[in-house]
Amino acid sequence: MKKEIINNFDTEKLVYLMFQSSKRAFEAVESALHRISVLTDKVTETVKNGGRIFYVGAGTSGRIGVLDASEIYPTFGEENLFNALIAGGKEAMFKAKEYAEDSSAQGEEDLKNAGFAKSDIAIGISASGKTPYVLGALKFARSIGARTSLISCRAVNYDFVDYLVVADTGEEFIKGSTRLNAGTAEKLILNMVSTISMIKAGRTYDNLMVAVVPSNNKLVDRAARIVSELTGAPFDKARELVMKTKDARIASLMLKKDLTEEEARNLLKKEGFDFPKAYEG
């Protein structure tokens, strides 16, 4: 009997089947929650000790790393804290350079050139867990005594990886297309690692984006609403202070503790930019 191929399915059936397949990504991430937690604690520790985070990936995995790292500054006010390297460089963000992932030496070279140091942590992202570019970078990181992690969607084991996170997503809806479930799982994991480490490092207050960079009118208003909600100050007064200080945290400290802008900045710095400590202390 001739097998029916999915090309002949109607669109609604394909949408349903692909949605059902996508659930595997969430199940795979759920099975890895403990290891994600361990990695997140190490990332938080790295941040608190003045280190940086470097994502290293190729293809879809590399693009997901770039996406997550690029959102840290506007969301949490931390520039150059999370960094991302992708095989093939910036051009590979927009046009596939599949050959670039085959060089372990290039992974090492790119991490060196990025100024990676012993105090930093390298997090490799690889659907197969075997990408030479990623493994080369991780081996270099380990060789200088830095911490290493690998996020993989297949079971692997390496003696140069300190924190292995495996979220086995199984066969893809389109075989071999790791931009699907593997990509979804990787995005979920990076969301958790970066967001929760920033929460634990005091770059939020509860679930408020107190460190949001007010770089346009929408974000100025958002920051002002945060200040108003925290301190009880009228929105207009909060907005005026946000416009002046360019920082909702500073505006909030000034209002809550009756500080000058300089005093508020010094207090936040003294507390290691942990806003809840500065605000509640």
Q: pLDDT tens across 140-156, in order?
A: 999 999 999 999 999 99
50 lies in the same domain as 104: yes
The yes-or-no answer on residue 262 being catalytic is: no
Mean pLDDT (whole number) for 25-45:
98
User: How many structural domains is the chain composed of?
Assistant: 2
Rounded CA separation 55/61 (Å): 10
119 lies in the same domain as 33: yes
191 lies in the same domain as 221: no
Rounded CA separation 279/281 (Å): 6
Report yes or no on 248 lying in a domain: yes
- Count of positions (residues) in the chain: 281
195 lies in the same domain as 236: no
Going by C-alpha positions, the residue among 204, 165, 172 that lies closest to residue 186 is 165
Q: Pull the structure tokens for residue 73.
A: 């500054």
167 lies in the same domain as 71: yes
Token pair 């809840």 is found at 276
193 lies in the same domain as 229: no
227 lies in the same domain as 193: no
Report yes or no on 206 lying in a domain: no
**DSSP classification of residue 87:** T
132 lies in the same domain as 250: no
Rounded CA separation 150/124 (Å): 5
Q: pLDDT tens across 106-139, in order?
A: 999 999 999 999 999 999 999 999 999 999 999 9
Report yes or no on 1 lying in a domain: no
Q: Residue 99: is its pLDDT beyond 90?
A: no
Active-site residue (options: 27, 45, 71, 271)? 71
Active-site residue (options: 78, 101, 172, 186)? 101
Report yes or no on 196 lying in a domain: yes
What range does the domain containing 224 cover? 217-280
Q: Pull the structure tokens for residue 251.
A: 């505006």
Boundary (domain end) residue, out of 172, 200, 228 = 200
272 lies in the same domain as 161: no
Q: Pull the structure tokens for residue 97.
A: 């350079």
247 lies in the same domain as 147: no
Domain of 188, CATH number, reads 3.40.50.10490
Which backbone phi and psi does 64 adopt, to 5 degrees? -65, -40
67 lies in the same domain as 190: yes
How does residue 45 score in pLDDT terms, banded at 50, 70 and 90? very high
Q: Pull the structure tokens for residue 81.
A: 């804290």
The yes-or-no answer on residue 263 being catalytic is: no
Rounded CA separation 143/131 (Å): 18
Q: pLDDT tens across 175-187, in order?
A: 888 889 999 999 9
176 lies in the same domain as 258: no
Report yes or no on 208 lying in a domain: no
Report yes or no on 207 lying in a domain: no
Strand stretches in the chain, DSSP E: 53-57, 82-86, 121-126, 147-152, 163-166
Task: Give, in degrees to the nearest 5, the angle at Cα 191 between 190 and 194.
Answer: 75
Instruction: Fill in the amino acid letter for 46.
Output: T
